[in-house]
Structure 1
Amino acid sequence: MNTLDQRVATRHGWRVAFASGLASYVDAGAIAGTGTALVILQGPLGLTPGQIGQLSALLTVMIAGGALIGGRLGDRLGRRRVFLATLSIFIMAAFALMLFPSVPVLYVGLALLGFAAGADLPVSMAMIAESAPEDKRGKMVTFTHVLWMAGILGVIVISIFFGNAGMLGAQIIYGHLAVVALLAVALRWGIKESRLWTETRNVAVRDDAVDGERVDLSSLRALFAPKLLAPLVATGLFYALVNIAANTNGQFSTYLFVNVAGTDVATASMLGLGILLLSVAGLFVMMKIVDTSKRHRSFVIAAILALAGLAVPLVFGITAVTLVVMGVLGALGGAIAGEPMYKIWSQELFPTSHRSTAQGITIAFARLVAAGAALVTPLIISAGPTLLFVFLIITSGAAYLIGIFWIFRMRIFLKGDDGVTVTRDARQNVTG
């Protein structure tokens, strides 16, 4: 590929990365926005701690179900068709939550919102990986997490200005998500179907196929053959365990600041803004190192930082200061040793024909685990919040061990534009 072709491919890759990556924005906005909105609405609508836990869990369960179904449909029907339909559902649900805030609408609206966001995630991620140039795949996939952080930033900015405005604040949160989803649909409309998916759809599996079988998009059998089962289990466990802490911070950080540390929503949002900016800085570091041999060492350092952050409220008690310290260390550590790394592994460890389905399965599993945690989190906080941080340290520590001693030892798929598959140890420089 000559220099001009490389530039064209890079520009196209970034265009797809932004348009498809907005799925991460609305996913994060739905999680963090609902966490803030439920705190705002607990007064006007009379929500109880039990209902807040139920609604948070419902959102997460539906994200899981959507990921499972959307991922499979993305491999069967194509990336483009699915990721246009999913965001259309998201738009309708977000507008309903904005225009008709009530307890029944919260249950129905959050169910649809979560399903649509979840269904979009594995399909859009696969689209990005399959459109990115070989030497920039990791960087472009990581960029989606910058957009994920932008989703949280949007919620924080709204909360700073409207967090104490009552029901209006919650309505603006959901309204802005609907507008972003509309923008994403407009940008995605001109994107063609993934070429790799089109080529693979009815073509015999090449050297990287499981047991030399033909790709059969009506069957999941290939994913459960030894070559793909191990990465499916490993990435699923890693994401499920590391996501418990991330999901808890996303959904319940405002709850902890307001109901335990004694601040108000606007103050909590201001503190969260500084933490978020550090997360974004960490992601740009991740984009620098993800396609290099520094990946493994950086992951280990980041994991230590994240665990140290979770230990601070446990040791020194839950105050605004300790929550901020936890947030800072977690932001820096999670940018490298958290969900962004899961996204990279999910593209590298699975071939095109099963990439979306595999991600759908692992995302669904992780979000179901998170939903179970979200259901009881408010009750745990009420009973004794230090127990929560013991649990988060254990689950996050287990995730990091899986990453360091299992996933980093796997061989990875890297299918380039020429159809050639390269396998390398995941701790090495994956771009050669």
Structure 2
Amino acid sequence: MSAVSTKKTTNPWWVAVIAGMASFLDAGAIVATGTALVLYQDDFALAGADISRLSALLTVMIAIGAFVGGRLGDRFGRRRVFTVTMLLYIVGAAFLTVAIDPWMLYVGLILVGLAAGADLPVSLAMIAETAPADQRGRMVSFTHVLWVAGILVPTFMGIFVGNMGSAGARWLYGVLLVVAVIVLVLRTRLPESSEWQHAHDVRTGAIAAAPSEHTQEASIRDLFRSKYLLPLIALGLFFAIGNITANTLGQFNTYLYVNVAGSDVSTASTISLASYAFNLVAMYFVVKFISTRYRMLVFGVGALITIFAYGVPAALGVSLATMIALSFMTALGGPMAGEPIFKVWSQELFPTLYRGTAQGIMIAFTRLVAAGMALITTGLIDLGPRVLFIILVGTTVVAVSIGFFWIPRLPKAEGRTGLERESR
């Protein structure tokens, strides 16, 4: 099927929504787990160290999934991979929903993490390759709206199930299970990315014509050549260091409200839900300006807000008041200077046959860094919550410096594939 015919028969925005549900399910798994483990802690006798290990396990599995899924998506196509990932996610969510023993939590989080991680780079590549050129930035950044929705649904549910104990945790995971089933059904109707198919056909033809000069592993080798190595390093560092704050808040927000600020799950969920009105405002500016010359202005404003947000509890300590301030300010600044722009940059800096692999490597590295942080987070909180937030201020400053001074100077990829450019 040609690129033209695919875009005539499949609405690109429909593809963006259905493929982009990877972001919803990834965020949903992280936030639901952050709340569910607190709800499970009494019945399963989970200590703070157990919660850290389970949170880190989910993050590590997302990392492994991203690395493997991104590569498989480049080799075998976008559609095949994100169909398999949904099946895996469904099985994992089922384990978490019916868990009656801690080992079931470990199995469920392994499967859900692998599936969510593998889905992310493939779905982003699919969206970028289906979108019209003048809408690509908006459609890729729109996936952050779905990411926010994945945060909001379990957060909203937390208001009502926050006092239900284990039953509340089962409701959280059960909803993710149902959504994954619906996404799987809808994805069976999506066609393969025509841009990936074209690039794959070109490469297959080149291999057939000169097998001694081309191998199936060329995309990995080429990715690490100097032309792509610097973008991989720069963007990987930006996302990994910047994501430490977002991941910490996503996984331990409820823990901080309940075990440090002296609040409860329902209150934490209500405040977090209210704060996302600011997130919608931020996403309006991101989607509106991401493809214009004002992109970096929006990025800079978001960076300043985010640094100040983590500076409040670092300076004043963790209390209900400082947690409320943190929630509202990060909801506003985070999208402007965080993951949405990473998603757009990752489409711009890598060509088609390397895109999924590059994103998989960067997401995997990011999640491994986040997992390492998750392992020590409750320990840092025990030492003194202000220590944690001083660290988060530092990581934010480093990340936004990379995003402001290094990444915009990198050359963008041109054409459909590196192979085509080399043959011109």
The 2-side partners of 1:190 and 1:346 are apart by 26
The 2-side partners of 1:152 and 1:398 are apart by 25
Q: C-alpha displacement at 1:13, in angstroms?
A: 0.9
Letter in 2 for 1:379: G
Q: C-alpha displacement at 1:66, in angstroms?
A: 0.3
Q: C-alpha displacement at 1:157, in angstroms?
A: 1.4
Cα RMSD after superposing both structures: 2.1
Q: C-alpha displacement at 1:218, in angstroms?
A: 2.2
Q: C-alpha displacement at 1:99, in angstroms?
A: 1.3
Q: C-alpha displacement at 1:231, in angstroms?
A: 0.6
Contact kept, 8 Å, 1:243 with 1:366, in 2: the verdict is yes
Percent of aligned pairs with the same amino acid? 49
Cα deviation code 1:153-192 (max 9, x no counterpart): 1101111111101111100111111111111111111111
Are 1:250 and 2:227 counterparts? no
Structure-2 change in CA distance of 1:6 and 1:302 (3 Å) = farther
Cα deviation code 1:272-325 (max 9, x no counterpart): 001122112211210000011100111111101100000001112211111111
The 1-side partners of 2:403 and 2:214 are apart by 29
The 1-side partners of 2:257 and 2:376 are apart by 18
Are 1:34 and 2:44 counterparts? no
Provide structure 2 residue ranges, at least 5 long, that are not aligned to the other structure.
205-211
State how 1:47-58 maps to structure 2 within 5 Å: 47-58=46-57
| Match in the other structure for 1:350 | 350
State how 1:209-358 maps to structure 2 within 5 Å: 216-219=215-218, 220-358=220-358
The 1-side partners of 2:330 and 2:413 are apart by 30
Q: C-alpha displacement at 1:415, in angstroms?
A: 4.1
Structure-2 change in CA distance of 1:242 and 1:202 (3 Å) = same
Q: C-alpha displacement at 1:216, in angstroms?
A: 4.7
Contact kept, 8 Å, 2:301 with 2:336, in 1: the verdict is no
Contact kept, 8 Å, 2:16 with 2:127, in 1: the verdict is yes
Structure-2 change in CA distance of 1:214 and 1:38 (3 Å) = farther
Q: Secondary structure at the match of 1:43?
A: coil
Contact kept, 8 Å, 1:313 with 1:323, in 2: the verdict is yes
Contact kept, 8 Å, 1:201 with 1:215, in 2: the verdict is no
Q: C-alpha displacement at 1:214, in angstroms?
A: 7.6
Letter in 2 for 1:77: F
Structure-2 change in CA distance of 1:303 and 1:215 (3 Å) = farther
Letter in 2 for 1:134: A
Are 1:43 and 2:50 counterparts? no
Contact kept, 8 Å, 2:7 with 2:130, in 1: the verdict is no
Contact kept, 8 Å, 2:285 with 2:298, in 1: the verdict is no
The 2-side partners of 1:214 and 1:124 are apart by 31
Letter in 2 for 1:44: D
Contact kept, 8 Å, 2:351 with 2:416, in 1: the verdict is no
Number of equivalences: 409
Contact kept, 8 Å, 1:33 with 1:155, in 2: the verdict is yes
The 1-side partners of 2:180 and 2:407 are apart by 34
Letter in 2 for 1:259: N
Contact kept, 8 Å, 1:202 with 1:215, in 2: the verdict is no
| Match in the other structure for 2:139 | 140
Contact kept, 8 Å, 1:68 with 1:360, in 2: the verdict is yes
| Match in the other structure for 1:157 | 156
| Match in the other structure for 1:21 | 20
Are 1:364 and 2:361 counterparts? no
| Match in the other structure for 2:380 | 380
The structure in which a higher percent of residues are helix is: 2
Structure-2 change in CA distance of 1:215 and 1:153 (3 Å) = farther
The 1-side partners of 2:5 and 2:43 are apart by 55
Contact kept, 8 Å, 1:75 with 1:217, in 2: the verdict is no
Which deviates the most, 39-48 or 63-72? 39-48
Are 1:195 and 2:194 counterparts? yes
Letter in 2 for 1:174: Y
Structure-2 change in CA distance of 1:31 and 1:215 (3 Å) = farther
Give TM-score, length-normalised by structure 2. 0.93
Letter in 1 for 2:42: G
The 2-side partners of 1:38 and 1:321 are apart by 24
The 2-side partners of 1:216 and 1:134 are apart by 30
Cα deviation code 1:222-244 (max 9, x no counterpart): 11111111110111100000100
Q: Secondary structure at the match of 1:293?
A: coil
Are 1:168 and 2:167 counterparts? yes
Q: C-alpha displacement at 1:416, in angstroms?
A: 7.3
Q: C-alpha displacement at 1:409, in angstroms?
A: 1.1
The 2-side partners of 1:256 and 1:396 are apart by 19
The 2-side partners of 1:31 and 1:201 are apart by 34
Are 1:402 and 2:402 counterparts? yes
Q: Secondary structure at the match of 1:263?
A: coil
Letter in 2 for 1:310: Y
Q: Secondary structure at the match of 1:292?
A: coil
The 2-side partners of 1:334 and 1:178 are apart by 28
Which deviates the most, 320-329 or 10-19? 10-19
